[in-house]
Structure 1
Amino acid sequence: MDFSLSQEQQMLQDSVAKFVQNDYDFDTRMATVNSEANFNQDFWNLFAELGWLMVPFSEEDGGMGGGAADVMVLMEEFGKGLLMEPYVANVILSGGLISRLGSDEQKAELLGELMAGQCQWAFAFTEADSRYCLHKVNAAAEKTASTYQLNGQKAVVMNGAAADKLLVLARTSGASADRDGLSLFMVDANAGGVKRQGYKLQDGSNAAEVSFDKVELEASALLGEEGQALSAVEAVIDNACLAACAEAVGAMGVSLEKTVEYTKTRVQFGVPISKFQALQHRMADMFVEHQQAKSMLLRAVLLSEQDPAESAKAISAAKYRIGQAARRIGQESVQIHGGIAVTDELDVGHYFKRLTMLEMLFGNSDYHAQRYQELS
């Protein structure tokens, strides 16, 4: 089986790697983390100019027609640089739902704005007690004569504090945990009745608690058919899992590399600590973990493009295995570096924080182990 990148994918990889090397050093990232917006608008505009925001969208929708492998290449490089820009929230989640459920008119308008970098989106789907169950939704949109009235709360909305528009998963019929009766609505983030409380997660990214109190929505705010949104949401969340896995693989590789380099310069008892056999064994284990994680990612990406029937199971297998590897490599990197690794001044600790977040994002290892068993 050929795992080599195509010419277009190699160009994409080189483009992102060059950006990270020349424009996105650690100090630049920390300035972004500490900014109010939590992402750099100039960089986001550059992403649009370079076509990175167009990668996963079909040519019919104005995109580049890229697949899971192209997103993998992009996200792995993002992981290496610990990029803060909300690519998953905008392009993978929100853009993915619009491309799947939107009408031709909606896609032309909304995806055009998104790919041009002119609008920030967030997908509000999790609730305080939903855990990782996508169809456990209490937020409700009650239909009146010609409008909907939206009420409820959403938790840990990625990019929720910076978003201009929200995609909200709400129940239009059925009980709390029913699979049917879920609909998607486009909501102006600054509309009356919408309240947002933004905060930073442990890795420096932003999220928000969002509440909706009698928010009036026109019928045109509905995305797709009423009550039939769940299948599209599940498919898009699987795509986001793949993107998170690719980012984790990239971050793990750099964390391992920095740890090995550190042991060559840190001297103890008159010799570099890389000479200590116990540390050599630990770093060898980290290398094996990273290689296995990368193999699982490649398998999931290939199956998502070639065998849709096996895709969900392969993605859960990858998310489980990569989550385990991320935890192991992140923790080992911190322990081998010692106390300096938990300071803000050293980037290794920030890789550890991001890897910890990625392990939990869209379902942690325990959840995906159980999901894999149920799908088998």
Structure 2
Amino acid sequence: MPLYLTEDQVMLRETARAFMADEGGIAKQYRKYRDMNCKDGFGHALWRQFGEMGFTGILVDEADGGLGLGHVEAGIVLEEVGRNLTPSPFLITAVAVVEALKGSALKERWLPGILAGETVGALAVDEGAKHRPEAIAMKAARSGNGFSLTGGKQFVVQGASADVFIVVAKAEEGLTLFAVEKGAKGLEVEGVRLADASIGARMVFDRVEVDADAVIGEVGQGEALLSRVLNAGRAGAASEMVGVGSAAMAMTVEYLKQRRQFGRAIGEFQALQHRSAHLYSELEIARAATLKAQQLLDEGSEEAEAMVSVAKAKAGRASTLAVQEGVQMHGGIGMTDEYDIGLYMKRDRVLNELFGDPAYHADRLARMRGY
């Protein structure tokens, strides 16, 4: 497929861009909820507005009340989320959790609330300091007509606010995904403020009992489902990082036009022009790689998984370059809280770690190719 958006997708981008700039802007959302030390890190009123706009139903099938669109459309919304640093559960809930629930009997329990912007979901996969889904150790032991979950999870984004957790554990038969409701007996959730002021969670499962109906898919057959969920999240995170990087670049270019030294705008200095041009090209490559990955996901292509890792790695590196160049070109003032450029650097740091950093995906891609 060509690497450009259709007319309908362009219309969605314009709608999402206007909405995020108006309702999800930095002063109205990010700074407000950060400065009030909000335990959730985002506004539930805005999340309900996401539902009213139909954004929460992008990946939900029409038969289930959603829009029945794809990962390209979800990425369009996420790029605008990143551009405005809009704090919301969209990436984890409306992309990763919805992907897990699609085709499951549990969709009837949870999708209506997600569609309305009333329900928040979380993805409990990682157990250590780094994203290593291949090293999951949480145990799911048979207990009565269900399972008993024992272990811990880290870096559970929106975990402190979630109504349902998609939990990955090892049953005797193999990897299995479970839907665990908040407040389950034996479950401890500790909210942790991340670098970008969003809230993650550390979770401890002390023989948490769930019945057989909590299993998503088949017992022991969770590896393929987990891969699908993670690929959806990785592609979405790549789009958000493209938005973060693009906004940081736009802010920096505007500053280069305004800041004057030696009687000239500093943007006239050739060294800064070269660096700006290089940054622009890196972000455009990242945007193209991300769009291609999402198109392949929507097609169900066998090449999608590899391209998702390309996109996550490239978007991560381009976004980091954008925020680092932005802070440096702003000079000392770029390190102050008064200027927004530093906030983009913090968001980039969290998104890079989420679902695997560039080094993880470079290694993953090399292994896929037999190296």
Partner deviation per Cα, 1:50-78 (whole Å, 9 max, x = no partner): 11000012222221111121112111111
Alignment of 1:8-47 (within 5 A): 8-28=8-28, 29-34=30-35, 35-47=38-50
User: The residue matched to 1:308 in structure 2 has which SS?
Assistant: coil
Is the 1:249–1:290 contact (alpha carbons within 8 Å) kept by the matching residues of 2?
yes
Q: 2:73 aligns with which of 70, 74, 88?
A: 70
Alignment of 1:112-191 (within 5 A): 112-128=112-128, 131-173=130-172, 181-191=174-184
Show the counterpart of 1:374. 367
State the 1:194 CA deviation: 0.9
Q: State the distance in 2 between where 1:374 and 1:148 align.
A: 34
Show the counterpart of 2:306. 313
Partner deviation per Cα, 1:251-277 (whole Å, 9 max, x = no partner): 211111110110111121222211211
User: The residue matched to 1:37 in structure 2 has which SS?
Assistant: coil
Q: State the distance in 2 between where 1:222 and 1:301 align.
A: 27
State the 1:232 CA deviation: 0.5
Structure 1 residue 212 corresponds to structure 2 residue 215? no
Partner deviation per Cα, 1:172-199 (whole Å, 9 max, x = no partner): 11xxxxxx61112222221221111111
Show the counterpart of 1:326. 319
User: The residue matched to 1:16 in structure 2 has which SS?
Assistant: helix
Partner deviation per Cα, 1:208-246 (whole Å, 9 max, x = no partner): 000011222222222221111111111111111111111
Q: State the distance in 1 between where 2:313 and 2:181 align.
A: 35
Show the counterpart of 2:330. 337
For structure 2, the residue ranges without an aligned partner over 5 or more in a row are none
- My pick for the range that moved more, 88-97 or 27-36, is 27-36
Identity %: 33
Q: State the distance in 1 between where 2:52 and 2:300 align.
A: 33
Q: State the distance in 2 between where 1:305 and 1:225 align.
A: 23
Partner deviation per Cα, 1:16-66 (whole Å, 9 max, x = no partner): 111122223321121123322211111111111111000012222221111
Show the counterpart of 1:176. none
Structure 1 residue 50 corresponds to structure 2 residue 65? no
Q: State the distance in 1 between where 2:24 and 2:70 align.
A: 26
Runs (4+) of structure 1 moved beyond 6 Å? none
Q: 1:260 aligns with which of 253, 262, 267?
A: 253
Partner deviation per Cα, 1:250-309 (whole Å, 9 max, x = no partner): 121111111011011112122221121111111111111111111212222233334611
Q: State the distance in 1 between where 2:60 and 2:320 align.
A: 32
- My pick for the range that moved more, 230-239 or 111-120, is 111-120
Q: Aligned-residue CA RMSD in angstroms? A: 1.7
- My pick for the range that moved more, 260-269 or 183-192, is 183-192
1:67–1:210 Cα change, 3 Å = same
Is the 1:330–1:356 contact (alpha carbons within 8 Å) kept by the matching residues of 2?
no
State the 1:147 CA deviation: 3.1
Q: State the distance in 2 between where 1:205 and 1:97 align.
A: 23
Q: State the distance in 2 between where 1:363 and 1:114 align.
A: 25
Is the 1:121–1:166 contact (alpha carbons within 8 Å) kept by the matching residues of 2?
yes
1:120–1:303 Cα change, 3 Å = closer
Q: Give 2:80's aligned amino acid.
A: E
Q: Give 1:121's aligned amino acid.
A: G
User: The residue matched to 2:148 in structure 1 has which SS?
Assistant: strand
Q: State the distance in 1 between where 2:4 and 2:132 align.
A: 36
TM-score by structure 1 length? 0.93
Q: State the distance in 2 between where 1:216 and 1:224 align.
A: 18
Alignment of 1:238-253 (within 5 A): 238-253=231-246
State the 1:117 CA deviation: 1.7
User: The residue matched to 2:134 in structure 1 has which SS?
Assistant: coil
State the 1:319 CA deviation: 1.6
Q: State the distance in 2 between where 1:278 and 1:227 align.
A: 56
Q: Give 2:139's aligned amino acid.
A: A
State the 1:126 CA deviation: 0.7
Q: Give 1:30's aligned amino acid.
A: R
State the 1:2 CA deviation: 4.0
Structure 1 residue 98 corresponds to structure 2 residue 97? no
